[in-house]
Amino acid sequence: MKIGIFDSGIGGLTVLKELINDYPHNEYIYFGDTLNLPYGTKNKDELEIRADLIIDFLKKQKVNMVVIACGTISSNIYSKIKDKYGLMLIDVLTPTIKYISDNKLTDIGVLGTPMTIQSGSFSEVAKSEVACPLLVPLIENGKKDTKECEDIVIDYLKHLHNPKNIILGCTHYPVLSEIIKKHSKAHLINMGKCVSQYLKLPNIGTAKVTLYFSKVDEILKDNVFNILKQNYEIQEKII
C-alpha cells in the first residue's frame, strides 16, 4: 500500500514513525512544507491553499490514501476538504478523540498551535487548553534541547493546571515528550500513536520511505534523522 502523509514541517514525522513501527511493509511518501511553516498562525484560506497543492502532489505519486499529519489543518479545515479530492483522507483529531473515548479518559489538558486551540476542536473533552506559538519554530530550528525551549515548555504547562492527561495537539510536540515528562506527571496522548491504532493498515507491501520537503537544510536533515532513525530518501520539492 502507498500512503501519503503531510505536515507543515517535521512534526508529521512523529506520525510517520508510528506508522512505520506498526506497519513497516508499506510505501510511505511524506511532504513537509518547511518553506511555508508555521501553519499554526495561518488563516483557513491559507491552509486550504497549501492543502490543495500538497494533496495534488501526493495524488500524482499514486498514493492510496493521505494522512493529514497536522493538527492545525485537521482541526480547522478537515471537514471542508475531506471529500474534495476523491481520495481517502485521514485527520489526526478523529483517532485522538476516539482513543480518549475508548479509554474513558478525563481531566485532559491540550497543548496546541494557536489555530488549533482557536478552532475549539478539543473543547468538549478538554478541561484546559494552551496555545503554544513558540514551540514549532524552536523545534524546526533545532533548539528543542535548549534551556530556552525548556523554560517555554514549563511556562505553557503552568497554564494547564496539572491535568492527568495531556493531548499533544500538534504533531511536532512529541519531539518534546521527555522535556514535558520532566515537568509533568500527566499521561501524554500522542496523536501519531492514535492514528496508527485507528487505521489498522495492511502490512504486506514494499517497504520504502520517501521524504519531500519544500526547503532542505542541514538542521532539517539532523531533525529528520533524530526522529526517524532509519533508512529513507530525502528530496527538496517546492510546490
Catalytic residues: 70, 170
Look-up: residue for cell 531533525? Answer: 223
Neighbouring C-alpha atoms within 13 Å toward the C-beta of 22? 17
Round to whole Å and give the CA distance between 28 and 17. 10
Round to whole Å and give the CA distance between 27 and 47. 26
Q: Give the DSSP H/E element, type plus range, for residue 2.
A: strand 2-7
Cis peptide before 38 (omega within 30 of 0): yes
